[in-house]
Structure 1
Amino acid sequence: MKISWNVQSLAWMVVVGAGLWLSGCTKDPAVTPDSPVKGTPAKADQSVNNWILENMRAVYYWNDKMPASPDTTLEPNAFFYSLLYDYTNKANPERDRFSWIQESAAELKSSLSGEEKTTGLEVKYYLRASGSTDVISTVLYVLPGSPADKAGLKRGDIITTINGQKLTTSNYASLATDPTTFRYGLGRIESGKIVDTQTVKTVTAEVFQQNPVLLDSVYVVGTKRIGYLVYNQFIPGPNGSTTPVYDQKLEQIFSKFKALGVNELVLDLRYNPGGYVSSSVKLASMIGKGVDNTKTYYRMEYNKNVMAEIASEGQTDNLITRFQYKVQNIGANLSRVFVLTTGGTASASELIINGLKPFMPVITIGETTYGKNVGSITISDDSGKIRWGMQPIVFKSFNALNQSDYSTGFTPTIAKTEPLAVKPLGDVEEVYLATALAQITGAGTARIGTDQGPQLPVLGSSVERRAGGSNMFDDLKTLNR
């Protein structure tokens, strides 16, 4: 059966990776896509597997590398991951690390719009000391209005226990994801070490819609008017809304930047794992120098069968997504753009970096980005008979110079790592922002607070997990063998 599809709808989204970390789509957090459970599917599962296979053979980017005779006796989750290109081969940077499936298509779609059951925390995990199996986490940011925000948690808080249990390498994954109500025991830095306190913050997770536009500011230093934007996911508007209120907020911010004569821009994407390409195009179109709706933002490449059908139907022009003409564009005042990055900067965030590079210098500050130069679409069953939803990779992206060489991530122009003791976002002494400000103003060494806390081994972050880091827990087990 021929599966109908539309080139433009395929191109519309580049979404975040595995999505398991926050969506709760697996009941057992120890069972990741790297450890599928084999079993004999019920008859209903067989129909799901047939549906999966049919769609994957039609649109999957690596459909020519799928098994010729896949094992359809697997349950649907394991069956899907058995189809993915070189999925478990961590030595191959070009492998498919990103496609995923969920039992509920409705939950999948809502999570892509920033609505999911969450406490509102994003955290980074560390070993409590070198060689230890104890784990701590530090709060990277708290969603405004979320349960965690209402409980008084804030960026920089250190979590040492959850529900009365110390975090360890063997339990922190389940403790951080399993319960609905969390009692976070907090610690503090004392004489260069982490010590427990008696402070406990109780938070109950709830379905919450995040606003991805976290913070914007303008700093004036001499003739420099520096715009700063913290943007944490490419989401046009709330789940189910027909009004792109978050895109509109970006437009309002850039209107303000333009009115204030902003001539330097610091775009903070360090916690942004991706999202909708439609929002990425809008943001890039307000930044790019000399861009308009005649300039290429990125070009897509699908699997050979899809590309042949596109060519036969004369639709090759639809493979190109161009910048938009935006009255809010500040590119004429910019000679460059600074982008703050971490390992959780992925997908549509990397598309911004790659798409702007042909038109202006892009200076990255921070850590190497995640490395996602491919895009996916949501596939669900319109008949309603199958409730599963999947998010397979269907295309690879290239910029106006035909560049797509970041499957291992963008290496930062200026390498920085966030310390354990973080300053508030927007604080001029916060490590990343201070480094950007020093580069812009020529002030030399960035003005950074001296108390950055002990240097501890980093295990990963919830942001990286959202970006597709489904191997984080397995890597941790290897580290501690």
Structure 2
Amino acid sequence: MIKFFVFRPVLVLVASSLVLLASCKKSTEDVTPSTSIGTNGEVNAWILGNMRTYYYWNDKIPANPDTSLAPGTFFKSILNTYDATTNPDGDRFSWIQESADALKASLNGESKTDGLEYKLYLRTAGSSDVIGKVLYVQKNSPAAKAGLKRGDIFYQINGQTLNTGNYSDLVNGTVETKTYTLASVDATNTITNTTTTRQTTAIVLQANPVFLDSVYTIKGKTIGYFVYNQFATGPTGPDDHTYDNLVDGVFSRFKTKGVTDLVLDFRYNPGGYVTAAQNLASLIGKGIDPSKVFYKKEYNKTLTPDLLKQYGADWFNGYFLQKANNIGATLQTLTVLTTGGTASASELVINGLKPFMTVSTVGTTSYGKNVGSITISDDKGRIKWGMQPIVTKSFNALNQSDYSTGFKPSVEVKEYTNEVWKQLGDVNESLLGTAIARITGAGRLATHANGPTYELGSSIEHKAGGSNMFFNDKLPDLQH
């Protein structure tokens, strides 16, 4: 018999759907392994015991899984795997990593990178050629120092032309120094190769999610604009509120300047800590206070009775905070800029504010993640793996959780491959410009390119596991 004791996870939500990030540390001291420490058998017993307790779909775990498999393969073998046709409500989000430390660092915005955030596309329909387009560049990063900027297009890395056969190895490989060869876009929306290059070398970078804030006065409207790229509370984890304090500072400026309309730019925000989402939403909500529910959580049927017994029914609710810099009372409109990279905690903010105010969206359909995960690791250090399984589903104050396929935009605006992209914060940039036009009554901007795009993926998908949401709650000590 395997017994598990003293498990106190920290739950976290990351963009797209909910992902709960927990410093969930279960000791293996109470596990009776049948094999030596560190073997597949012990690691898989640790995985299986935790998953049978906390996994949202624990009733779907096979009765007798093959514990001789490598841990990564074993973990995947017990998931309730998503299938668009046969299992549309399945799991798209749980993951495992060989290093729990690396997993936790990534959730706080730390990674080894050159700071270039990009999206990859087929160059044209039916082509095997691939290009990358820069979404934005992390501040003070090697990419920024090399002169790379939003809208730049690269078609070669280290002299090799990207194609469908090699692009994954070239962009995700272990080579730390990269030379990007650039292409240009002309007035006719034609992409042309150049010989211009930019070289970067990856470093361990702590990305500040508070990317940009501006205030525009246009046609009698005072419009606040905030680019927020990850729901991270601070560089060292959920008890560090450095970034939350920066967000508070942004809204202090918005309040001082009398912002009447707010544009939140979540287009590249894959999610993060629920507490960071709670902090941001509490600065925006209209008519909210700590008695109003921001989100509700639902766990599996075996875990729920233990939670009810130890904490009571109210533990499943997350409430708004009292924030001195809340601007809800003066807000006339709230617009959120979204793309397929808008996930988890970003969607939690949209869903959580909907019962209290009208939330308009501009861009493309968000990712669709209404579930959350916890980080599970071994605090004794005997098992180095860390896993991030889905353990909860989220709802708003009206019990709505109907965004598993994403939030469709109020106005659809795409970022096309073959157009010149304006910089974030430029009032003529396609998504922001459209939002401003709607706010000021000028109608919709239509100055961007038209036609299909052929997306292959983006660097955003690899941030913190991509599209996650983490809750900073503690679960009870359990015995099974």
TM-score, normalising length: structure 2:
0.88
Give, in whole Å, the separation in 2 of the partners of 1:2 and 1:335. 52
Q: Distance in 1 between matches of 2:204 and 2:85?
A: 34
2:238 is the counterpart of 1:244: no
CA displacement, residues 132-175 of structure 1 (integer Å, 9 cap, x when unaligned) = 01010110000000111111100010011011111111111110
User: How has the CA–CA distance of structure 1 residues 163 and 289 changed in structure 2, closer, same or farther, with 3 Å as cutoff?
Assistant: same
- 1:114/1:239 contact within 8 Å kept: no
1:429 maps to 428
Q: Tell me which residue corresponds to 1:120.
A: 115
Alignment of 1:113-192 (within 5 A): 113-178=108-173, 179-190=175-186, 191-192=188-189
Match of 2:22 in 1: none
Distance 1:189 1:91, change over 3 A: farther
Amino acid at match of 1:168: N
Q: Matched residues in 2 for 1:146 and 1:135: separation?
A: 25
The correspondence for 1:293, drawn from 290, 295, 298, is: 290
1:221-232, aligned counterparts within 5 Å?
A: 221-232=218-229
Letter of the 1:423 counterpart:
K
Match of 1:227, SS state, is strand
Cα gap change, 1:314/1:454 in structure 2, threshold over 3 Å: closer, same or farther?
Answer: closer
Q: Is structure 2 residue 264 aligned with structure 1 residue 271?
A: no
Structure 1 residue 102: Cα displacement: 0.5
User: Partners in 1 of 2:340 and 2:85 — Cα distance?
Assistant: 16
Tell me the distance in 2 between the aligned counterparts of 1:5 and 1:319: 18
Task: Measure the CA separation in 1 of the matches of 2:430 and 2:304.
Answer: 45
Aligned-residue offset at 1:43: 6.4
Task: Measure, in 1, the Cα distance between the counterparts of 2:38 and 2:384.
Answer: 15
Matched with 1:34 is none
State the shift of 1:256 in Å. Answer: 0.8
Deviation at 1:460, TM superposition (A): 2.9
Matched, 1:338 2:329: no
| Partner Cα separation in structure 1 for residue 139 and residue 447 of structure 2 | 25
Structure 2 counterpart of 1:93: 88
Q: Percent identity?
A: 55
The answer (yes or no) to whether the contact 2:268–2:339 under 8 Å persists in 1 is yes
Residue 203 (structure 1) aligned with residue 209 (structure 2): no
Q: In the aligned structure 1, how far is the partner of 2:465 from the partner of 2:275?
A: 20
Is 2:44 aligned against 1:14? no
Q: Are 2:13 and 2:271, in contact at CA under 8 Å, matched by a contact in 1?
A: yes
Q: CA RMSD in A?
A: 2.2
Please give the residue correspondences for 1:391-430 in structure 2 after superposition, counting only pairs within 5 Å: 391-420=388-417, 421-430=420-429
CA displacement at 1:222 relative to structure 2: 3.0
AA of the residue aligned to 2:259:
V
Deviation at 1:195, TM superposition (A): 1.7
Maintained 8 Å contact 1:226/1:262: yes
1:67 maps to 62
Give the Cα–Cα distance (whole angstroms) in 2 for the partners of residues 258 and 209 of structure 1: 29
Unaligned runs of 5+ in 2: 18-35, 468-480
Distance 1:290 1:389 in 2: 40
Q: Deviations over 1:259-283 (max 9, x none)?
A: 1110100000000000011100000
Return the offset for 1:86. 2.3
Structure 1 distance, partners of 2:464, 2:433, is 26
1:371 equivalent among 368, 386, 403: 368
Match of 1:219? 216
Deviation sequence 1:211-258 (CA, Å, 0-9, x none): 001100001013211000000000111136954111101101101101
User: Partners of 1:2 and 1:128 in 2: how far apart?
Assistant: 52
Per-residue Cα deviation, 1:410-439 (whole angstroms, up to 9, x for no partner): 111111111232110010110000110011
Measured in 1, the distance between the counterparts of 2:381 and 2:262 equals 46
> Is the Cα contact below 8 Å between 2:16 and 2:370 reproduced in 1?
no
- In 2, Cα distance between equivalents of 1:196 and 1:210: 31
Q: Is this contact kept in 2: 1:139–1:158, CA < 8 A? A: yes
Equivalent residues in 2 for 1:247-266 (5 A)? 247-266=244-263
**One-letter identity of the residue aligned with 1:182:** K
Aligned residue for 1:275, secondary structure, equals strand
- Equivalent residue of 1:50, what SS? helix
Secondary structure, in 3 states, of the residue corresponding to 1:207? Answer: strand
Supply the AA of the counterpart residue of 2:367. Answer: Y
Q: Contact 1:339/1:363 (CA < 8 Å) preserved in 2? A: yes
Please tell me the residue identity of whatever aligns with 1:180: E
**Which residue is equivalent to 2:28?**
none
- Given the alignment of the two structures, is residue 310 of structure 1 paired with residue 310 of structure 2, yes or no? no
- Code of the residue aligned with 2:179 in structure 1: it is R
- Provide structure 1 residue ranges, at least 5 long, that are not aligned to the other structure: 19-40, 471-481
What is aligned with 2:32? none
Q: Distance in 1 between matches of 2:99 and 2:465?
A: 19
User: Structure 1 residues 367, 468: closer, same or farther in 2, change over 3 A?
Assistant: farther
Letter in 2 for 1:239: T
What amino acid maps onto 1:183 in structure 2? T
CA distance in 1 between counterparts of 2:238 and 2:50 reads 28
Report the CA distance shift for 1:301/1:3 in structure 2 as closer, same or farther (over 3 A).
farther
Structure 2 counterpart of 1:36: none
The Cα shift of 1:88 comes to: 5.5
Provide the rounded CA distance (Å) in 2 between the counterparts of 1:364 and 1:78.
39
Deviation at 1:122, TM superposition (A): 1.1
- 1:287 and 1:329 in contact (8 A); partners too: yes
1:54 aligns with 2:49: yes
Q: CA deviation at 1:44?
A: 1.3
Q: Distance between the aligned counterparts of 1:468 and 1:42, measured in 2?
A: 27
Structure 1 residues 88, 3: closer, same or farther in 2, change over 3 A? farther
| TM-score, normalised by the number of residues in structure 1 | 0.88
Aligned partner of 1:338: which letter? T
Q: Which has the higher contact order (CA 8 A, sep 6+)?
A: 2
Which residue in 2 is equivalent to 1:440? 439
Distance (whole Å) between structure 2 residues aligned to residue 387 and residue 90 of structure 1: 36
SS of residue matched to 2:67: coil
Contact residue 263 and residue 335 of structure 2 kept, 8 A: yes
**Which SS does the other structure have where 2:296 is aligned?**
strand
Q: Which moved more, 1:435-444 or 1:41-50?
A: 41-50
Paired residue type of 1:382: D
The residue that corresponds to 2:381 in the other structure is 384
In 1, the alpha carbon distance for the partners of 2:238 and 2:443 equals 46
- Secondary structure of 1:79 counterpart: helix
